[in-house]
Amino acid sequence: MADKVTKPKGVKGPHRLTERQRAFAEMYVATGNARRSALAAGYSEGVATNRASQLLKKPRIRELIDAPRERAKEETIASIEEMQKYLTTVLRGKSEAEVVVVEGQGMGVSQARRLLKSPDEKEKMKAVELLARMFGAFLDRADVTTGGAPVGPVIYLPENGKGAQKK
């Protein structure tokens, strides 16, 4: 039985995928298991492992697999811009942190309360420091190279090659 060839939007020429290939890619994204994905896509028990290996090498299938992973990565990992925006809200005192304050009630009894607090001066200064580092405002080390070669100790020898002369 031949698979029906489907063509994703915007894809031309030989980059078309069969329904089985597309099903394999979708299942692989969901499970991360190549053999199970091949079986679920309709490949037989005998060829599932080998076929899965072949399918994972196809560029169009790799694109279908990698695209959702990239989107998930973008949603879960903070970008540099996001970090800069957050640190800026801290240094401007516009963020709030939840803190627990323990208050004495008398007779050796205390009670904990949760409060929202704006950043203090120390936290604002730390945000300034981190932002400055992100923008390269501080030099952590000096680059001591000349033309790409490190500068080493300079030893002056007299032209006759017999070493330094005593006076």
**Residues 110-143: tens digit of each pLDDT:** 999 999 999 999 999 999 999 988 887 776 555 5
Q: Would you kindly state where each structural domain of the chain is located, as residue ranges?
A: 5-76, 81-134
DSSP letter at 163 equals -
Q: Are strands 109-117 and 97-106 parallel, antiparallel or unpaired?
A: antiparallel
What three-state secondary structure class fits 149? strand
Average pLDDT over residues 62-67: 91
Is domain 5-76 classified as CATH 3.40.50.300?
no
CA 108, 110, 116: angle at the middle one, nearest 5? 160
CB atoms inside a 10 Å sphere around CB 123: 16
Alpha helices in 33-116 (DSSP H): 34-40, 48-56, 59-76, 80-91
Average pLDDT, the chain: 82
Beta bridge partners of 111: 103
Using CA atoms of 73, 74, 77, 78 in order, give the dihedral in degrees to the nearest 10: 170
pLDDT at 2 over 60: no
* Model confidence pTM above 0.75: no
CB atoms inside a 10 Å sphere around CB 46: 8
Q: List, for residues 35-62, the tens digit of each pLDDT value.
A: 999 999 999 999 999 999 999 999 999 9
Dist CA 120 CA 95 (whole Å): 11
Which tokens belong to 79? 């970008």
pLDDT over 90, % of the chain: 52
Q: What is the pLDDT of residue 14?
A: 46
Dist CA 109 CA 63 (whole Å): 62
pLDDT at 167 over 70: no
At 13, the pLDDT band (50, 70, 90 cuts) reads very low
Dist CA 51 CA 15 (whole Å): 18
